[in-house]
């Protein structure tokens, strides 16, 4: 099995080229590949498959993308092997791989995803911009982070967020455990963003991702944070469409939030290419060692 | 730059084949490669180089190994780029790589290291046994883990250990922060092992490695733990040379501790092979992002 590894602002992925849709990719295999110690390691897997042959894992989205003439489909899986819809950092890495390998030509590409077709553009400096779709404010909310209470905006970027503007350094907030959502309508939980605005239109952000914990970067979280920044500046939906620089632990993202088409820009890098070992892939696992379980062992400390 | 990735009981390494000693391997490059998000990821790097051309990084050990007719030298680096002497899990992975690629023939191989020449043997089931050298009890010691105090044996396996036999589940001990050594002579600090003995001659072990934190496995730690187990059983240096099964979070190791030649046996697996991206290797780094710094960011949570 061929692979590449890449990352966008520290959100890293194992890319599995499967142009003809011949790869059987079980949840167990994905989890083994993403295991950071016993596997290759990554936040998720990006299967690179032609939309027309994306298979059952793509649901109806592969066929729909193919009908619109969209050649490539991003079959994104979480590190635990579960299916995910879209990933703003992942789709940039996915596009970087297609362009670098010559499977597709830039600078503008439409990519099929389980959240519909998304357009990605490459700038002259290599940064990639993806349309993340509409961002919507759904209300307000509050959460408890350790001993501290924070409050902010409830924002939907396809998935739910609580974006909290704070006055003190973002490093001061305890994200070592899941934030406890105390107010607001989050029936499915929410990612929580803590952001601090600087005078120059940039924001520092840290994020706790629902189901993943604290991460180096989160594309939808950066969009939600930019919405909160725009609201704090009195500029949300006033037609100004300012671009916010969002500094996450893994690097810098540029976000132009919008209620129709939010733009997320940032780097995407391919680190390595190679082949997974056949014997390793075939071997029966020992005791189940999913990344989550290992992380828990390490976290217990 | 070619690479392979492998692991032994969850202790994982990026292997860099450099038979002719032509690779310039700076600490920065090692740290970038070992970065688990922006690089390939690993606990360390194993440069595979012929002893005769191992170069300055090997000090005088390369020449000495070559003079004894030992062809291959393990140039082991920690994830932060610093030099390390020996690694019991690393040398098994190193040997697996040599045998799998045909660079050397098993089942018995001598390998040059910065701790001298070590002999590794492959069993028919693929497990690899390495002579870890003498283990010595140097006294007793104690430490504080969070709110709990533990005490145990001070054991030297080349590096210093505090091996503590406990009665309750090893998961109950807090290794999320560095143990505070409270008694005993550890001028250079020590790895701390918490182990619980079972009736069948096996032991469950968790370890906090000096400078690395809690890890999935530690070869020298398993040897120190086996010494403590043998002492607890009244069998240390009684000529019986019992083999102890040491269960670490990343798998099972078998240890026959001795004051002359302690044997460590366990699996070693190659997961993938490939090539690091030239542009990625050449690129100027953004803000310094050493694994330790990133880990700290994630740990702050």
Cα separations in angstroms, A38 against A130, A250, B105: 33, 24, 25
Q: What ipTM describes this predicted complex? A: 0.86
- Mean pLDDT across chain A: 92
Q: What is the DSSP string of B210-240?
A: TTTEEES--HHHHHHHHHHHHHHTT-TTSS-
Mean pLDDT on B277-286: 81
- Residue A32: the pLDDT is 96
* Two tokens, residue A224: 């939600």
Between B137 and A201, where is the model more confident?
A: B137
- In tens, the pLDDT along A121-170 reads 999 999 999 999 999 999 999 999 999 999 999 999 988 999 999 999 99
Disruptive mutation site among A4, A5, A31, A290 for chain B (greatest number of B CBs within 10 Å): A5
Q: Rounded to an integer, what distance in angstroms lies between the CA atom of residue B184 and that of residue B53?
A: 41
A275 at B interface, C-beta within 8 A:
yes
Backbone torsions φ then ψ of A189, nearest 5 degrees: 75, -175
Between vectors from CA B91 to CA B271 and to CA B35, what angle results, nearest 5°? Answer: 55
- Residue A130: the pLDDT is 97
- Residue B297: the pLDDT is 43
Chain B partners within 8 Å of A279 (Cβ): 270
Q: Do B38 and A175 touch (CB under 8 A)?
A: no
Proportion of chain A above pLDDT 90, given as a percent: 82
From the list A40, A45, A19, A42, the residue with the least C-alpha distance to A30 is: A45
Contact B221, B87 (CB under 8 A): no
- In tens, the pLDDT along B209-231 reads 987 789 999 999 999 999 999 99
Q: Rounded to an integer, what distance in angstroms lies between the CA atom of residue B45 and that of residue A235?
A: 50
pLDDT of residue B277 exceeding 60 = yes
- In tens, the pLDDT along B121-135 reads 999 999 999 999 999
Rounded to a whole number of angstroms, the distance from the CA of A165 to the nearest CA of chain B is 18
- In tens, the pLDDT along B155-182 reads 999 889 999 999 999 999 999 999 999 9
Confidence category of residue A283, pLDDT binned at 50, 70, 90: confident
Proportion of chain B above pLDDT 90, given as a percent: 82
- In tens, the pLDDT along A263-279 reads 999 999 999 999 999 99
Among B218, B229, B245, B246, the active-site one is: B218
Disruptive mutation site among B2, B34, B37, B89 for chain A (greatest number of A CBs within 10 Å): B37
Contact B244, B202 (CB under 8 A): yes
3-state helix, strand, coil in chain B (%, to 5): 20, 40, 40
* Two tokens, residue B284: 């100027």
Confidence category of residue B116, pLDDT binned at 50, 70, 90: very high
Confidence category of residue B294, pLDDT binned at 50, 70, 90: very low
Confidence category of residue A291, pLDDT binned at 50, 70, 90: very low
- Residue A212: the pLDDT is 78
pLDDT of residue A285 exceeding 80 = no
- Residue A275: the pLDDT is 98
**What stretches of A102-188 show up as alpha helix (H) in DSSP?**
none
- Residue B284: the pLDDT is 58
Cα separations in angstroms, A185 against A144, A156, A258, A261, B19: 15, 11, 22, 24, 61
Confidence category of residue B199, pLDDT binned at 50, 70, 90: confident
Reduced to 3 states (helix: H, G, I; strand: E, B; else coil), residue A197 is strand
Mean pLDDT on B258-287: 90
Q: Do A301 and B3 touch (CB under 8 A)?
A: no
Between vectors from CA B135 to CA B132 and to CA B140, what angle results, nearest 5°? Answer: 145
pLDDT of residue B38 exceeding 50 = yes
Contact B243, B255 (CB under 8 A): yes
Contact A16, A47 (CB under 8 A): yes
Catalytic residues of A: 87, 218
- Residue A284: the pLDDT is 58
- Residue B58: the pLDDT is 92
Chain B partners within 8 Å of A283 (Cβ): 269
A177 at B interface, C-beta within 8 A:
yes
Q: Do B277 and A286 touch (CB under 8 A)?
A: no
Mean pLDDT on A185-199: 93
Between B151 and B301, where is the model more confident?
A: B151
Q: Is B164 marked active-site?
A: no
DSSP 8-state code for residue B134: -
B104 at A interface, C-beta within 8 A:
no
From the list A4, A1, A60, A63, the residue with the least C-alpha distance to A26 is: A1
Chain A partners within 8 Å of B40 (Cβ): 5, 41, 271-272
- In tens, the pLDDT along A19-51 reads 999 998 999 999 999 999 999 999 999 999 999
**What stretches of chain B show up as alpha helix (H) in DSSP?**
27-34, 61-67, 88-101, 219-232, 278-282, 291-300
Chain A partners within 8 Å of B301 (Cβ): 174-177, 208, 213-214
Sign of CA dihedral A299, A295, B220, B294: negative
Chain B partners within 8 Å of A277 (Cβ): 269-273
- Residue B240: the pLDDT is 76
Query: B116-135: buried (b, 16+ CB within 10 Å) or exposed (e) per residue?
Result: bbbbbbbeeeebbbbbbbeb
Contact A191, A218 (CB under 8 A): yes
Disruptive mutation site among B5, B174, B266, B271 for chain A (greatest number of A CBs within 10 Å): B271
- Residue B85: the pLDDT is 83
- Residue B285: the pLDDT is 57
Chain B partners within 8 Å of A274 (Cβ): 3, 272-275
Between vectors from CA B87 to CA B84 and to CA B92, what angle results, nearest 5°? Answer: 140
From the list A211, A300, A288, A216, the residue with the least C-alpha distance to A38 is: A288
Of A282-296, B153-167, B219-233, B263-277, the range with the lowest mean pLDDT is A282-296
DSSP 8-state code for residue A114: B
Count of H-run helices and E-run strands, chain B: 6, 18
- In tens, the pLDDT along B60-112 reads 999 999 999 999 999 999 999 998 888 999 999 999 999 999 999 989 999 99
Nearest to B250 among A37, A213, A249 (CB): A37
Query: A265-285: buried (b, 16+ CB within 10 Å) or exposed (e) per residue?
Result: bbbbbbbbbbebbeebeeeee
Cα separations in angstroms, A218 against A205, A247, A292, B100, B261: 10, 11, 19, 39, 50
A180 at B interface, C-beta within 8 A:
no
The residue with tokens 């922006």 is: B38
Among B87, B163, B192, B264, the active-site one is: B87
pLDDT of residue B286 exceeding 50 = no
pLDDT of residue A294 exceeding 70 = no
- Residue A85: the pLDDT is 83
Contact B216, B259 (CB under 8 A): no
Q: Is B34 marked active-site?
A: no
- Residue A211: the pLDDT is 76
A296 at B interface, C-beta within 8 A:
no
């Amino acid at each position: 099995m061929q692979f590449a590894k890449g990352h966008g602002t520290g959100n890293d992925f194992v890319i599995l080229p499967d142009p003809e849709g011949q790869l059987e990719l079980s949840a167990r295999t994905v989890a083994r590949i993403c295991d950071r110690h016993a596997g290759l390691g990554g936040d998720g897997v990006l299967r690179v498959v032609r939309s027309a042959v994306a298979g059952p894992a793509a649901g109806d989205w592969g066929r729909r993308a193919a009908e619109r003439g969209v050649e490539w489909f991003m079959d994104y899986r979480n590190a635990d092997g579960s299916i995910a819809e879209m990933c703003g950092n992942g789709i940039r890495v996915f596009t970087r791989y297609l362009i670098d390998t010559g499977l597709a030509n830039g600078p503008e590409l439409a990519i099929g995803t389980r959240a519909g077709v998304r357009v990605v553009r490459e700038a002259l400096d290599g940064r990639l911009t993806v349309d993340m779709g509409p961002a919507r404010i759904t209300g307000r909310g509050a959460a408890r982070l350790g001993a501290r209470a924070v409050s902010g905006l409830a924002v939907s970027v396809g998935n739910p967020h609580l974006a909290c503007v704070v006055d003190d350094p973002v490093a001061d907030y305890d994200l070592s455990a899941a934030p406890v959502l105390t107010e607001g309508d989050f029936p499915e939980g929410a990612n929580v963003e803590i952001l601090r605005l600087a005078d120059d239109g940039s924001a520092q952000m840290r994020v706790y991702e629902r189901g993943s914990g604290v991460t180096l970067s989160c594309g939808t979280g950066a969009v939600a944070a930019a919405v909160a920044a725009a609201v704090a500046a009195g500029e949300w939906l006033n037609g100004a469409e300012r671009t916010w620089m969002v500094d996450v632990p893994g690097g810098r993202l540029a976000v132009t939030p919008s209620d129709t088409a939010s733009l997320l820009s940032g780097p995407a890098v391919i680190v390595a290419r190679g082949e997974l070992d056949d014997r390793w892939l075939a071997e029966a696992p020992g005791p189940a060692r999913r990344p989550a379980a290992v992380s828990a062992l390490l976290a217990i400390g």
